[in-house]
């Protein structure tokens, strides 16, 4: 348990950190923006594709065809004049325009008609996705007209019986990344700042032990980081409808372990760096590679073979993988044991390094 001194010191640091609302707020700014952007980018894919139809045919089949397309939830159909639709296509209001020829549906039995698809080539990447969908829809409409039973139908069943969007994949990684940043900045930058102000020196001439000082900062900063992450999670779950499948306590358990590891690493950096510039540079050396290699934005499995073993051993990889398995797959703490072992090993390394490097006398001067 904590000694009275440690409790007092922790409460003072809590006050110090908590009263710095501006930095608490601004450090949440980036992840909030990030999540919002990704969740909107995500939901846009599910919007119907805007398609214009120019119906040059007077036949009933053409009208019926157009109506069937209108009924399809995949498309948002506008029927109209050629000139207007072309203008809309150029303006980007339509993704493509279908031109039904005069002969469309007149000779249903022995002649196929050609549908002219007008597109804006600038949207070529989207077209690659849309064309198969369009072809599929046209085929099934044709089948209905000709009254042919389809030979087979495809039904997709998720093996995990849940819907997984990119944002669901992203959230745990983003949380892990955010907690790493908050923790490293929260200890490392503070140490450098306290040294610059001469506060460490002043503390050193009192009988306080370095262990008490480190304990107090770790506990106080941990409380702040947990509040910050809870705000983010609340934001994600309530406003962005992101699902966390697993147990919340298990999730927070990994969060707490990760925070301790990164706080210790912050102490190492803060002890090594002598200036605010140096801690910025050192921090980037630790943080930057992990952003890209720790499976935050895309799975580690999608990286080049040779880099995967290294990537998997990074501290942030263990934390983000553990959090993701709990959040996305509902894994229990037992099931993410490999990640927990990895975090534990990193904790030992970081803790030993922090206590070795954080020598009052040298860090204070």
Partner 1 sequence: MPIIEVRDLAKQYPLPDNKSEKFFAVNGVSLQIEAGEIFGILGPNGAGKTTTLEMLEGLNDIDGGEAFIDEIDVSQNPYKVKEVIGVQLQANEYFDNVNLEELLGLFGALYNRDIDPKALLKKVQLEDKAKAKPANLSGGQKQRFSIACALVNEPKVLFLDEPTTGLDPQAKRNLWDLVRNLNKSGMTIVLTTHNMEEAEELCDRLAIMDKGKIIAEGTPQELILEHAPEPPEAPLHGDLEDVFLVLTGHGLRE
Q: What is the DSSP letter of 96?
A: E
Among 207, 285, 302, 305, binds partner 1 (CB under 8 A): 207
Complex with partner 1: residue 60 or 207, whichever CB lies closer: 207
Q: Does residue number 15 form part of the binding site for partner 1 (CB under 8 A)? A: yes
Site size with partner 1, rule: CB under 8 A: 24
Among 34, 145, 166, 204, binds partner 1 (CB under 8 A): 204
Q: Does residue number 54 form part of the binding site for partner 1 (CB under 8 A)? A: no
| Cβ proximity of 51 and 130 under 8 Å | no
Q: Which element (helix H / strand E) includes 55? A: strand 49-55
Complex with partner 1: residue 84 or 201, whichever CB lies closer: 201
Q: Which residues contact 7 (CB under 8 A, 6 or more apart)?
A: none
* Rounded Cα distance, 118 and 123, in Å: 12
Q: Does residue number 162 form part of the binding site for partner 1 (CB under 8 A)? A: no
Residue 240's CB is within 10 A of a number of other CB atoms, namely: 18
Return the structure tokens found at 297: 């934005």
Task: Label residue 38 left, alpha or beta by phi (over 0 means left) and psi (-120 to 50 means alpha).
Answer: alpha
Q: Which residues contact 81 (CB under 8 A, 6 or more apart)?
A: 54
Q: Does residue number 12 form part of the binding site for partner 1 (CB under 8 A)? A: yes
Among 48, 92, 198, 338, binds partner 1 (CB under 8 A): 198
Least Cβ distance, residue 201 to partner 1 (angstroms)? 6
Tokens 């372990």 correspond to: 257
Complex with partner 1: residue 2 or 237, whichever CB lies closer: 2
Complex with partner 1: residue 159 or 205, whichever CB lies closer: 205
From 10-18, 116-124, 253-261, 297-305, give the range in contact with partner 1 by CB under 8 A.
10-18
Beta bridge partners of 96: 51, 119
* Rounded Cα distance, 190 and 266, in Å: 9
From 105-113, 205-213, 229-237, 265-273, give the range in contact with partner 1 by CB under 8 A.
205-213
Q: Does residue number 274 form part of the binding site for partner 1 (CB under 8 A)? A: no
* Rounded Cα distance, 298 and 280, in Å: 26
Q: Does residue number 364 form part of the binding site for partner 1 (CB under 8 A)? A: yes
| Cβ proximity of 237 and 322 under 8 Å | no
Q: Does residue number 61 form part of the binding site for partner 1 (CB under 8 A)? A: no
| Cβ proximity of 284 and 239 under 8 Å | no
Q: Does residue number 201 form part of the binding site for partner 1 (CB under 8 A)? A: yes
From 100-108, 170-178, 191-199, 333-341, give the range in contact with partner 1 by CB under 8 A.
191-199
Instruction: List residues binding partner 1 (CB under 8 A).
Output: 4-5, 8-9, 12, 15-16, 19-20, 194, 197-199, 201-208, 361, 364-365
């Amino acid at each position: 348990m904590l000694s009275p001194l440690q409790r007092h010191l922790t409460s003072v640091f809590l006050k110090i950190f908590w009263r710095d609302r501006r930095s608490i707020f601004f450090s949440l700014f980036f992840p909030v923006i990030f999540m919002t952007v990704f969740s909107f980018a995500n939901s846009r894919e599910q919007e119907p594709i805007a398609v214009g139809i120019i119906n040059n045919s007077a036949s009933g089949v053409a009208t019926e065809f157009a109506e069937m397309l209108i009924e399809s939830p995949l498309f948002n159909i506008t029927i109209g004049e050629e000139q207007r639709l072309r203008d809309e296509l150029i303006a980007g209001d339509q993704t493509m325009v279908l031109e039904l020829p005069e002969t469309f549906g007149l000779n249903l039995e022995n002649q196929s008609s050609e549908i002219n698809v007008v597109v804006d080539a600038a949207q070529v990447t989207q077209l690659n996705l849309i064309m198969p969908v369009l072809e599929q829809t046209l085929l099934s409409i044709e089948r209905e007209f000709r009254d042919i039973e389809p030979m087979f139908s495809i039904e997709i069943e998720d093996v995990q019986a849940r819907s997984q969007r990119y944002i669901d994949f992203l959230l745990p990684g983003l949380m892990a990344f955010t907690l790493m940043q908050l923790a490293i900045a929260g200890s490392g930058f503070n140490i450098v700042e306290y040294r610059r102000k001469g506060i460490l020196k002043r503390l050193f001439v009192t009988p306080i032990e370095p262990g008490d000082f480190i304990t107090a900062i770790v506990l106080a900063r941990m409380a702040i980081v947990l509040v910050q992450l809870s705000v983010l999670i609340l934001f994600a779950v309530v406003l962005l409808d992101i699902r966390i499948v697993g147990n919340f306590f298990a999730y927070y358990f990994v969060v707490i372990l990760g925070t301790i590891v990164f706080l210790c690493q912050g102490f190492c950096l803060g002890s090594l760096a002598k200036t605010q510039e140096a801690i910025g540079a050192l921090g980037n050396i630790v943080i930057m590679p992990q952003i890209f290699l720790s499976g935050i934005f895309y799975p580690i499995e999608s990286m080049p073979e040779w880099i995967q073993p290294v990537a998997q051993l990074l501290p942030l990889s263990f934390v983000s993988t553990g959090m993701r398995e709990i959040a996305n797959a509902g894994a229990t703490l037992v099931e993410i044991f490999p990640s927990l072992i990895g975090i534990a090993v990193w904790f030992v390394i970081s803790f030993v390094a922090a206590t070795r490097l954080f020598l009052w006398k040298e860090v204070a001067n």
